[in-house]
Amino acid sequence: MRREGWKAILSRSDFRPLEITIGSGERYAIRHPESVSVLLRNVVIDSPDGLIVIFEIDDLTSVRLLPRNGCRRS
């Protein structure tokens, strides 16, 4: 996904929480668009537990939509 794709997902008025997976296999939930900053080559995620994740945009391997209530599907 390119920078423009990130910005389009995060700026939608009907934003849905999502889970991303990066090249290392790590997964991160994005519950609110304001918890993400998209820079020129990097993405910064500020998670609710205080963890800050920084990765290169090109490292993204998948995006999965989560239910609107934030609960994971089994």
pLDDT score recorded for residue 68: 81
Q: What is the pLDDT of residue 6?
A: 87
CA distance 52 to 48: 9
What the chain holds in terms of domains, given with CATH numbers, is: 3-65 (2.30.30.100)
Residues in CB range of 34: below 8 A, 6 or more apart: none
Q: Is the pLDDT of residue 52 over 90?
A: yes
pLDDT classification of 71: cutoffs 50, 70, 90: low
pLDDT more than 90, % of the chain: 65
Could you give the CA distance from residue 63 to residue 53 in angstroms, rounded to a whole number? 16
Beta strands in the chain (DSSP E): 18-22, 27-30, 36-38, 42-46, 52-56, 60-65
Cβ–Cβ < 8 Å for 47, 28 = yes
Tell me the pLDDT tens digit for each residue of 14-39. 999 999 999 999 999 999 999 999 99
Comparing 69 with 24, the larger pLDDT belongs to 24
Residue 29 bridge partners (DSSP): 19
